[in-house]
Structure 1
Amino acid sequence: MSSLPQLSTIAEYLAGEFDNREQAIADPAWYVHLRMWQRPVSLFQEDSLTLFAEQANVLNIEQPYRQRIMRVTKAIADASFKVQYYAFKDPNAWRGAGRNYELLNALTPEQLNLLPGCVLNVNVESAQDQYRFIAKPIADSRCTFDYDGKTVEVSLGFEATQQEFFSYDKGIDSVTRKATWGAILGPYRYIKLEQY
């Protein structure tokens, strides 16, 4: 595979229902058993592919959280792809759309807030006719958003193969610069249960 993959390839790898059951069983003190949904949505189709994402603790599957939009565009200067994150102006209006995807038919760009510092550069590795997409934050950027009346900072990142998704997302304390939740000891390792 000498040529770079198309947007459709990274979208295929990212889209699906995922679960980290094995990791949660092996190390329950550090990894909550989560279900994650990443569904394609028909926004920004002129130059990108877009996904709705949310997750839920398996013990509280009816209470998903971290609703967000990931907009994937083709090559920029130092990467093969770029991922721009958006927040919902009213996250509760979209709660549960991972499982009840018909809700997403009403989604428009006006219902989103661009998160300027929440951008990832995505590079591609290939081996044995398979790709690995590795997404890292742009140097010196800070991803922040307002949640429940407070400004929250997160460090984002992921790796994706055809059947796995590793999330490096973690909350950052703005004073100490230390991680406070999420992938503190390493990534959340999800296995794809269903392809969307």
Structure 2
Amino acid sequence: MRLMAALCGLLCSCLIWAESTPFVPRPGVPSEAAQPQASLAPLLDWFSGDFANAEQARDDDRFASASLRLMEIWPGRPGVRWIYAEQSLAERAPRPFRQRIYRFSEASGGRILMSELTMPRATDFAGAWRQPELLDSLTPQQLSLRQGCEIWLHRQPSGEYQGHSDIGRCTTDFGGASTLVQYLWIGPDRVRLLDRAYDEGGKLRWGSPGEGYLYLRKMTERGE
């Protein structure tokens, strides 16, 4: 029963019916470009690679064992960088339960905007983190933006990045909830994801256990 609860908690945080709109790439905004901007490095170096929460799942049975694979795509676009992401359960690695593309752009005030986009026929691209050629047919124009679910990232005194989606803007109609708040922490060797979904009365309906899923960079990438 505890395993089933962990699986349900993980899958609920991913099967979110948020409003999607066609994504139209646009050039940088001149007024922002003229201001000091946050560098996308080392953020994108940290938010790339092969991660897993195996240690967390072993020590806390509220969490299902899962992997997070992150790979940069479409390089060479000034001021904008893209990450392809796959999440999969350890026991069903070839079949990811969540696939997204994240668009990172610099903004004023030391902030970085992380936008979440979905792709058509996502299952066609499963495994692209190890076979990048699977994405050759995909273009930014084919993506749909999850409107209102953008995350503004700020660098903390510790050096890590932290952010969350705006409260009340990321809509969902899953599991009796009406709004979702997503929290994200990114460090050199770890990514932590925490979801909280509330109904119209502000009651928590579902979300990640505890302080969220903690994905650690696999030891081979850490040089251990």
Q: Distance in 1 between matches of 2:198 and 2:122?
A: 23
Q: For residue 7 of structure 1, what is the aligned residue in structure 2? A: 40
- Tell me the alpha carbon deviations over residues 171-192 of structure 1, each in whole angstroms, 9 at most, x when there is no partner: x3656752435x2322111111
Q: Which residue of 2 aligns with 1:138?
A: 166
Q: Distance in 2 between matches of 1:104 and 1:145?
A: 30
Return closer, same or farther for 1:67/1:93 CA change in 2, 3 Å cut-off.
Answer: same
Amino acid at match of 2:123: N
Identity of aligned residues (%): 20
Structure 1 residues 92 and 44: alpha-carbon distance in aligned structure 2, compared to 1, 3 A threshold: farther
1:60 to 76, 84, 92: 92
* Aligned residues of 1:43 and 1:109 also touching (Cα < 8 A): no
CA contact 2:168–2:180 (8 Å) conserved in 1: no
Residue 152 (structure 1) shift: 8.7
Which residue number in structure 2 is paired with residue 27 of structure 1?
60
Deviations along 1:68-101, whole A, 9 cap, x unmatched? 1111111245x52110111112222222223333
Distance 2:124 2:179 in 1: 23
Matched, 1:178 2:209: no
Name the amino acid aligned to 1:81: I
Determine if the alignment matches structure 1 residue 92 to structure 2 residue 123. yes
Q: Is the 8 A contact 1:167 1:189 kept in 2?
A: yes
In structure 2, what is the Cα distance between the partners aligned to 1:192 and 1:87?
24
Residue identity matched to 1:95 = A
Paired residues in the alignment total 182
RMSD over aligned Cα, in angstroms?
2.8
Unaligned runs of 5+ in 1: none
The alignment's TM-score, normalised by the length of structure 2, stands at: 0.71
Q: TM-score, normalised by structure 1?
A: 0.80
Tell me the CA shift for residue 45 of structure 1: 1.8
- Higher relative CO (Cα under 8 Å, sequence separation at least 6) belongs to 2
Q: Is the CA contact 1:87–1:112 (under 8 Å) kept in the aligned structure 2?
A: yes
Rg (Cα) greater in structure = 2
Answer yes or no: is 1:47 the counterpart of 2:79.
yes
Structure 2: 5+ residue stretches without partners:
1-35
**Larger strand proportion of the pair:** 1
